[in-house]
Structure 1
């Protein structure tokens, strides 16, 4: 079984102070946290490794045992797990005698989730020879967080809604506020994995996934929609019906509107989260040209072309 260098894992020197260890741990834990590295198995393993190193080096007693045995931990195992026997033997080499008071399994409980090296070094299999002069108070550890995705419609994101679901036989109800967005996390405290040794339960994180709506594209608090208009409306102007998320409204098309132009309907977008204001609806105009003309229409377009040509020539 491979020896784990906890100092190297945290990137600190062996004479690092508790403050140095705490600072290094927080930095690495934030870097490799599952919330920031969803689906990344390497980051998940690194996060567990960093937590394991911190659990040892941040505890003065565990750190002393680890420092004393170090890479020679296997020799300690071969001595039958008798810590005092190995410590006495190592005194000729500057070793220090160390007595742990209590049950080593209290560190992390029966199922720690740490590496086999950690479990063998600190776990129940190595309690032979440890002095049991007093019982330590059990140290609780917070359970793991749980993350789940919840698909919702754009209409739910607009109006808000409530969802009820069951987790571990318990019914939970969450509120989706107006203006909720894709990727938003809703935290339900204490509904994650149970803690160890009376530790607090982890938290449940619900990640909202807003389903695609064929009518609209969301851009922040604005909604974007595409609208086709005929050539005559583009040239002469007029009013057309525009679908919004709450129903159709009439919108004026200015004379001479070009294809590709974007018109804005203020306040017809998404509600701003935790606010009484709204984004806008952006309407992208696409001018559709006539695909077939009868004889009379073609003659009229030729007449318009002639008038336009004469007009340009007269200004030259």
Structure 2
């Protein structure tokens, strides 16, 4: 039994050594790890990016991101396998196809140079009177809500009739609540921090975030679709190249080693890297009994910039 065990260890070590001496296999593993980093990072924080850029609710952002990922990811995977089979590509041709996909997605990722402007939020992006925050210091308390005793732990954004968002109905100085029969959302009335646009007196607010009028929405979504499409398009060709660059006896073992590398170097650190970079753009943090929680509001320009930098680092 010990002799058989030693023999198995010897065979395993020789197999690993042969794979380490195969530069094509090594580079395919590293390329797969970088792509896995981007996929894991974007799948985790992609909905958060859309939520911030387009001022959507979490459910709306997740649904929209799903509409992007399912056709782009599925279509890219299918198209990659189809191209390899259609043109009967050899290993060198497959690697060139993977390189073309990587360059295409790299060029498309520069779309993150543009961004949608933040919707104005009282006490966060501007003062309650519309002026600029002094020293970019958050100040959720104003004369209009000073006597309301609002708690910062209760984050429930509302959109005022003045197209400004407020941290909560309390922070907007609202006194009455009713329900909008058209969309079922709560409508808060007699809000002392909101002025009516036509008549003098307190305005009203509706539960939820203000809708972003961003004109770049279609452009951003299109190029995000392109990035996802070309990222997944290279997955099947890369897998085929891996199987063709090793001997028949090592194919199963090579796939196992490759997936270990991809998961360890790509799938695990991806969300961590993206999360740490995106958190640098946070404007408003959740306060949990004095402890910093999740981020409520991001600076859209900084968020796009950090996403671009992270994507370029792993793509290049």
Computing the radius of gyration over CA atoms, which structure comes out larger, 1 or 2?
Answer: 1
TM-score bracket relative to the smaller structure: under 0.3
Q: Greater helix percent: which structure?
A: 2
Q: Greater strand percent: which structure?
A: 1
TM-score by length of 2: 0.23
TM-score by length of 1: 0.23
